[in-house]
């Protein structure tokens, strides 16, 4: 009995050590990281708004392979992105370029915001000097109608 | 003040309607290719029979480069257009192909069954030649003029009209 427990304990101990023996250290390939950084900036051209880094489509996989290959050749990020732009156009960039037509997209929101800000100020200024017109007085008949309606609702409340 | 506001609102509305109109009338399937106006790259590889071939201008004639695959359903409809086109235009143009990410036996069987309009098909198993040419998927077609300049790229199955238009463009 005692022997049995000993056996079980030894096997548990051995098993727990074995994981240390067989596991390999986890190494992240720095090239993979750089590849994914670039792939995150490129649009998977056959998907709906998905970056190359996240897509499982065949084309995205090919593009990742090409990025890695070019990194191994010593090309930098700018050169690799240009390679894809030359072949697929600006469409391949997830962030539109800050030049040419892309500039409109970058500049329009701040311009609109400034415009809204200044027109709000102008509208407020044009109103600030004005006197608000006095409230119109209720006619005798209307006052009478309100009084009657109040009385009626009070009565209803008492009935309940 | 209220009158001033209309000077802003009306042009803004006109602009918006104009943009919407442009969006509605432009063709969403037309993907402008940055390669149009550029020289077709000379890509070397093997055809379906293992013979060395080089993509580019073939025999000094305006050249159509069609990208196809046996696993591509839309290519089947397009195939008839190409067969008719090859018959109609005969020797005045060169028609070659890139067989994209396809297994050799499947590609060969497709051509023997449906007819082969191409002088040869460049076998691009890895899709690297396609990527070099900015190919999205199949079918796609490049129209290359005699000087080797890409004058048109269609990212859709060709119709007879599209084929005629492309050939007119590259024969200019």
Q: What is the dihedral of CA A74, A78, A80, A81, to 10 degrees?
A: 170
Give the model's pLDDT for residue A29.
81
Is residue A58's pLDDT more than 60? yes
Q: Is the minimum CB–CB distance between B32 and chain A shorter than 8 Å?
A: yes
Give every residue of chain B whose pLDDT is below 50, as ranges: none
d(CA B106, CA B121) in angstroms, rounded, equals 13
Residues of B in contact with A82 (CB under 8 A): none
* Minimal Cβ distance to A63: which of B1, B131, B137: B131
Mean pLDDT within A27-41: 87
Give the model's pLDDT for residue A91.
85
Give the model's pLDDT for residue B39.
93
Q: Is the minimum CB–CB distance between B153 and chain A shorter than 8 Å?
A: no
Give the model's pLDDT for residue B29.
59
Residue A42 has φ and ψ, to the nearest 5°, of -105, 145
Give the model's pLDDT for residue B151.
94
Task: For residue A159, give the 3-state DSSP assignment.
Answer: helix
Is residue A19's pLDDT more than 80? no
Mean pLDDT within A25-35: 81
Give the model's pLDDT for residue B121.
96
In this prediction, residue A13 has a pLDDT band, given cuts at 50, 70 and 90, of confident
**If you average pLDDT over every residue of chain A, what do you get?**
86
Give the model's pLDDT for residue A25.
64
Q: Which residue has the higher pLDDT, A47 or A2?
A: A47
Q: Residue A87: which residues within 8 A CB-CB, separation 6 or more?
A: B34, B35, B131, B132, B133, B134
Q: What is the dihedral of CA A67, A80, B29, B42, to 10 degrees?
A: -90
- Measured CA distances, B154 to A26, A92, B35, B146, B164 (Å): 46, 18, 11, 18, 13
Is residue A138's pLDDT more than 90? no
β pairing state of B52-54 and B44-46:
antiparallel
* Minimal Cβ distance to A62: which of B8, B31, B131: B131
Residues of A in contact with B131 (CB under 8 A): 59, 62-63, 66, 87
């Amino acid at each position: 009995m005692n022997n049995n427990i000993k056996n079980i304990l030894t096997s548990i101990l051995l098993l727990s050590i074995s994981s240390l023996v067989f596991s390999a250290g986890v190494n992240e390939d720095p090239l993979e990281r750089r590849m994914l950084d670039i792939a995150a900036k490129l649009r998977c051209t056959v998907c709906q708004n998905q970056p190359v880094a996240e897509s499982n489509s065949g084309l995205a996989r090919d593009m990742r392979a090409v990025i890695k290959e070019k990194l191994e050749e010593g090309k930098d990020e700018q050169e690799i992105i240009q390679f894809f732009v030359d072949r697929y156009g600006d469409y391949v960039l997830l962030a539109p370029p800050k030049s040419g037509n892309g500039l409109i997209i970058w500049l329009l929101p701040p311009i609109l915001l400034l415009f809204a800000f200044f027109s709000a100020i102008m509208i407020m200024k044009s109103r600030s000097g004005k006197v608000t017109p006095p409230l119109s007085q209720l006619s005798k008949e209307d006052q009478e109608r309100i009084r009657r309606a109040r009385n009626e609702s009070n009565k209803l409340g008492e009935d309940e | 003040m209220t009158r001033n506001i209309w000077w802003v609102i009306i042009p803004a509305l006109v602009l918006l309607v104009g943009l919407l109109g442009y969006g509605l009338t432009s063709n969403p399937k037309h993907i402008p290719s940055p390669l149009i106006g550029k020289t077709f790259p000379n890509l070397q590889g093997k055809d379906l029979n293992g013979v060395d071939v080089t993509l580019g201008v073939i025999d000094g004639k305006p050249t159509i480069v069609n990208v196809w695959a046996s696993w591509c359903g839309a290519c089947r409809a397009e195939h008839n257009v190409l067969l008719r086109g090859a018959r109609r235009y005969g020797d005045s143009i060169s028609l070659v192909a890139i067989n994209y990410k396809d297994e050799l036996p499947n590609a060969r069987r497709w051509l023997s069954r449906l007819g082969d309009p191409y002088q040869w098909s460049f076998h691009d198993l890895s899709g690297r030649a396609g990527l070099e040419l900015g190919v999205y998927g199949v079918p796609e077609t490049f129209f290359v003029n005699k000087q080797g300049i890409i004058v048109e790229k269609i990212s859709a199955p060709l119709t007879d009209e599209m084929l005629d238009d492309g050939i007119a463009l590259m024969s200019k």
